């Protein structure tokens, strides 16, 4: 597939404000790609060179990109930067400059998709002495042989700012439609994706082997499994009712969600974050403990890593634990804040898929494998049959400084990438607040006014993720809870992802001063959830014929700025908000 055709499709996607139209454009593009190119096309469309767990990052500094554009076009770096400053988009600047370049196009031959992708990967992986010059050389040669539209998207991709506004679910639906003519095969594709976390691999198998090939996906060590998620319920009675009167109850730790893969024969250990990024180098003590403490050949388990004092039994707050997520000073920080992993589920052991076994069996096996006093140990757990037992365990967890509890149905399977009532969380609440924090996606921001007029940032427009429709829906404006430092940091981060129009996957009836790409997550607290005619979260017709969604009353930021450990698709869902609204009403009735 020639890259100029890919660039044309990207141009169409850039101008679309409807998700269904996006699916149609993607479907058409996927129908034209060759089987041996689909993996690269999917990665490029996602704006990546590989799935997150491979750790290959693209993101060339604007200084190097501007030098490459200057070499390819015959213009000066100052002229390139002037065009960039005017448009605010280096891709648009590259397109403009290459359209009137002073140098002749290097070649009349058209690039194939694979050639562009391979060159960009070479640029990303070039390191060592003289690497900057090599990056500029490869980039300038690529641009010099490209047409202006190709230059726009090559530049954006190289800088890590392609952002076509596509979610994983949207790509999966388009793949289904391209292969079968309908979107109904998406659940089968999604199941395969949940097991391998690699959209490129799913697309490649689909085009090569059809739907039958997709049905054969299996758990594979060192390919992270998309994590199972918990639902919410407000009372012990409701939880036990859902669990048919008997449940496993575990402490809920406020740390890093980690998925650990280990092979004893090769002495390989990989640790993946909730976002499925490889974080192994950050936590050397966990890798060491996995080899030394686990007497198995190969394993995949799910757990929570938290800074913990083994002598005092003290769990450190998340603000302390988060300091361990770093690229420098790792050894020193690991001595200051040693992590423990509290394992709570087993997915794979010695060649056997444990996800298909009942939770009770998975838990018992995990307890046999792990040492009680090891750095990796099982989470606290108790089997309960009465609401008072569950409440007592919950209160004890809160007293120890933990978030709350997670109840699990004893006969349930491990459902990757899904939120089911087989896992139910109950978290501590504070007077005058909702019983849980809410993770929201930043959709736009407002300029500072009044006392904040000196800042170019005055507040956020934030929303929930509707995972059924793969769109983001507004739920609140956030204007409080920001320190001056956070305001400055948010302003700097959001300026880089401003868009001229509302992104296609954002559903809104109100407008901020600036729209942004929906990629960043923040955590908020609020007093309650109310109905609102101005927000689109869960919008529906009311008895009087009007339409109303859900909104937050008195929201305030509580996270330390942007949550780096969560992707937009990890945000609180619209369905969760509806459920929390229902729980809130029950709590008010019981309180009265």
40, 252, 408, 456: which one is catalytic?
Answer: 252
Q: Where are the alpha helices (DSSP H) in 159-245?
A: 168-180, 186-196, 199-214, 236-242
Place of tokens 């001229």: 500
Please provide residue 210's backbone torsions phi and psi, each rounded to the nearest 5 degrees.
75, -170
Whole-angstrom distance, CA of residue 71 vs CA of residue 77 = 9
Tell me whether strands 339-349 and 352-353 are parallel, antiparallel or unpaired.
antiparallel
Separation CA 474–CA 539 (nearest Å): 10
Packing angle, helices 19-32 and 3-14, rounded to 10: 170
d(CA 414, CA 300): 12
Going from the C-alpha of 28 to that of each of 9, 31, 153, 179, the distances in angstroms are: 9, 5, 19, 11
**Which alpha helices (H) appear in 446-557, and where do they start and end?**
484-495
What whole-number distance in Å separates Cα of residue 362 and Cα of residue 344?
A: 9
Per the CB < 8 A criterion, the answer to whether 485 and 520 are in contact is: no
Q: Give Cα separations from 462 to 129, 479, 535 (angstroms).
A: 44, 11, 10
Tokens at 411, concatenated: 């006969």
408 in catalytic set: no
Structure tokens at 407: 């109840």
Whether residue 272 contacts residue 264, with contact meaning beta carbons closer than 8 Å, is answered with no
| Helix and strand totals (H; E) in the chain | 20, 23
Q: Which of 522, 528, 548 is nearest to 536 (CA)?
A: 548
Phi, psi of 521 (to 5 degrees): -120, 140
Q: How many CB atoms lie under 10 A from the CB of residue 501?
A: 10
Tokens of 535: 């927000």
For residue 456, the cross-strand partners are: none
Query: Could you give the CA distance from residue 280 to residue 286 in angstroms, rounded to a whole number?
Result: 8
Q: CA 92, CA 411: separation in Å to the nearest integer?
A: 55
Q: What is the DSSP secondary-structure string of 251-299?
A: EE--SEEEEEEEETTTTEEEEE-TT--B-GGG-HHHHHHHHHH--SSEE
Q: How many CA atoms lie within 13 A of 554 on its CB side?
A: 6
| Catalytic annotation, residues | 252
């Amino acid at each position: 597939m020639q890259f100029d055709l890919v660039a044309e499709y990207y141009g169409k996607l850039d101008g679309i404000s409807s998700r269904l139209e996006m699916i149609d454009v993607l479907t058409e593009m996927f129908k034209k790609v060759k089987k041996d190119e689909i993996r690269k096309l999917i990665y490029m469309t996602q704006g990546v060179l590989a799935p997150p767990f491979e750790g290959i990052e693209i993101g060339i500094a604007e200084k190097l990109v501007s030098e490459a554009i200057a070499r390819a076009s015959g213009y000066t770096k100052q002229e390139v930067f002037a065009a960039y400053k005017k448009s605010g988009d280096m891709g648009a600047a590259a397109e403009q400059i290459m359209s009137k370049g002073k140098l002749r196009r290097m070649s009349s031959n058209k690039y194939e998709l694979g050639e562009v992708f391979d060159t960009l990967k070479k640029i990303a992986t070039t390191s060592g002495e003289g690497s900057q010059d090599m990056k500029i050389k490869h980039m300038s040669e690529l641009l010099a042989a490209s047409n202006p539209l190709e230059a726009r998207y090559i530049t954006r991709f190289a800088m890590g700012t392609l952002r076509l506004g596509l979610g994983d679910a949207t790509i999966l639906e388009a793949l289904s439609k391209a292969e079968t003519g309908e979107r109904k095969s998406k659940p089968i594709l999604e199941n395969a994706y949940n097991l391998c976390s690699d959209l490129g691999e799913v697309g490649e198998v689909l085009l090569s082997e059809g739907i039958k090939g997709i049905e054969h996906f299996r758990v594979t060590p060192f390919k992270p499994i998309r994590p199972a998620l918990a639902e919410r319920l407000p009372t012990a009675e409701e939880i036990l009712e859902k669990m048919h009167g008997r449940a496993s109850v575990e402490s809920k730790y406020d740390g890093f969600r980690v998925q650990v893969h280990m092979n004893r024969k090769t002495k390989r250990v990989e640790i993946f974050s909730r976002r499925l990024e490889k974080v192994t180098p950050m936590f050397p003590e966990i890798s060491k403990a996995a080899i030394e403490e686990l007497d198995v050949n190969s394993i995949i388990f799910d757990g929570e890593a938290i800074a913990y004092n083994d002598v005092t039994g003290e769990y450190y707050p998340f603000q302390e634990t988060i300091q361990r997520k770093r690229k420098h000073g790792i050894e020193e920080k690991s001595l200051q804040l040693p992590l423990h992993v509290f394992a709570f589920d087993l997915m794979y052991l010695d060649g056997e898929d444990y996800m298909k076994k009942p939770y009770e069996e998975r838990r018992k096996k995990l307890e046999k494998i792990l040492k009680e006093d090891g750095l990796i140990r099982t989470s606290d757990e108790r089997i309960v049959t009465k609401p008072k037992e569950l409440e007592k365990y919950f209160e004890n967890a809160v007293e120890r400084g933990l978030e709350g509890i997670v109840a699990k149905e004893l006969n349930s399977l491990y459902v990757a990438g899904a939120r089911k009532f087989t896992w139910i969380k109950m978290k501590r609440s504070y007077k005058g607040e909702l019983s849980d924090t809410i993770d929201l996606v930043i959709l736009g921001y407002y300029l500072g006014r009044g006392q904040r007029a000196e800042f170019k940032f005055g507040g956020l427009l934030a929303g929930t993720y509707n995972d059924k429709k793969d769109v983001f829906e507004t739920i609140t404006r956030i204007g409080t809870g920001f320190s001056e430092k956070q305001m400055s940091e948010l302003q700097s981060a959001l300026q880089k992802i401003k868009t001229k129009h509302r992104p296609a996957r954002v559903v809104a009836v109100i407008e901020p001063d600036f729209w942004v790409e929906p990629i960043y997550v923040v955590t908020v607290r609020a007093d309650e959830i109310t109905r609102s005619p101005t927000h689109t979260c869960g919008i529906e017709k009311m008895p009087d014929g009007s339409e109303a969604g859900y909104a937050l009353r008195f929201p305030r930021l509580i996270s330390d700025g942007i949550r780096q450990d969560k992707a937009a698709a990890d945000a609180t869902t619209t369905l969760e908000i509806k459920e929390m609204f229902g729980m809130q009403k029950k709590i008010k009735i019981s309180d009265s």
